[in-house]
Amino acid sequence: MAGKEDLKLLGLLVSPFVIRVRMALSTKGVSYEYVEQDLFNKSELLLKSNPVHKKVPVLIHNGKPLCESLVIVQYVDELFAGPSILPTDLYERATARFWAAFVDDKLCPAWIGILKAKTEDERAEKVTETSAAIGQMEEAFDKCSEGKAFFGGDSIGYLDIVFGSCLFWFEAVRRMFGVEIISANKAPLLTAWAERFRESAEAKEVVPGADEAVQYANKLAAAAAK
């Protein structure tokens, strides 16, 4: 366990990537200063702390910045005492990392593409990509959970946090475009898992509602149209 820590998190309320870090810090029971960022007018602190990507989240630990949500969550897990976020079994840990990378490399670009699509054809293509990725995540849940409530077993773990942080955006996509990303007929296991995740104390503490996501998506669309 680290001693007295100076932790500052640069974030955005509706960023699923920031929510991952907030859930990890909450799981460990760590206090930190949260600093909301305006990504339309990026602060000097953000630009200085993440000069490569100029994105949130950035966790500043004792003056040293760390970037990229998956990196930060693993760092928090290793640094602080408390419930383990990543699986302790090495094979299960590697498997969780594999699927977390899949979420970021395949699933996130697909569902975000639904939001950003300029044409109906482009949106339909991204819906197809998203559906295929969800199908693979359904199979992954079946194997990883071993019949338990979460990817991490009986309680929320690393892959639950990584994937679950996107769920409120899935509801926003449904409201905006009528696209149901996780449906009971195609992904029954994930449908039940998503409900458990949303109702968990960990999620309720930091995950915003879909209304905020819709508002931010409309703000992004308006900015893009200028």
CATH, range 7-79: 3.40.30.10
- Report which of 63, 66, 51, 133 is spatially closest to residue 99, judged by C-alpha positions: 133
More confident of the two residues 85 and 225:
85
The answer to whether residues 72 and 57 touch, using CB atoms and an 8 Å cutoff, is yes
- Does position 2 have pLDDT exceeding 80, yes or no? no
Q: At CA 141, angle to CA 139 and CA 145, rounded to 5?
A: 135
- Does position 1 have pLDDT exceeding 70, yes or no? no
- Per-residue pLDDT, averaged over 17-43, amounts to 97
List phi, psi (to 5°) of 137.
-70, -35
- Per-residue pLDDT, averaged over 25-44, amounts to 96
Domain with CATH 1.20.1050.10 in the chain: 90-225
State the average pLDDT for the chain.
96
Domain with CATH 3.40.30.10 in the chain: 7-79
| Number of neighbouring beta carbons within 10 Å of residue 89 | 10
Judged by DSSP in three states, 73 sits in helix
| Number of neighbouring beta carbons within 10 Å of residue 148 | 11
The pLDDT score that the predictor gives to residue 24 is 98
pLDDT digits (tens, 9 = 90+) for 49-102: 999 999 999 999 999 999 999 999 999 999 999 999 999 999 999 999 999 999
Query: In the sheet that 33-36 helps form, which strands lie side by side, from edge to edge?
Result: 33-36, 7-11, 58-61, 64-67
- Does position 3 have pLDDT exceeding 90, yes or no? no
- Per-residue pLDDT, averaged over 177-204, amounts to 97
- Does position 182 have pLDDT exceeding 90, yes or no? yes
Does domain 90-225 fall under CATH 3.40.50.300? My reply is: no
CA 67 – CA 72 distance, rounded (Å): 7
Contacts of 192 (CB under 8 A, 6+ apart): none
Percent of the chain with pLDDT over 90: 96
Quote the tokens at residue 101: 């990378």
pLDDT class of 4 with cuts at 50, 70, 90: low
Quote the tokens at residue 219: 């703000």
| Number of neighbouring beta carbons within 10 Å of residue 68 | 19
The pLDDT score that the predictor gives to residue 224 is 85
Quote the tokens at residue 120: 């109906």
- Does position 194 have pLDDT exceeding 70, yes or no? yes
pTM over 0.85: yes
Alpha-helix residue ranges (DSSP H) falling in 165-209 = 167-177, 188-199, 201-206
pLDDT class of 140 with cuts at 50, 70, 90: very high
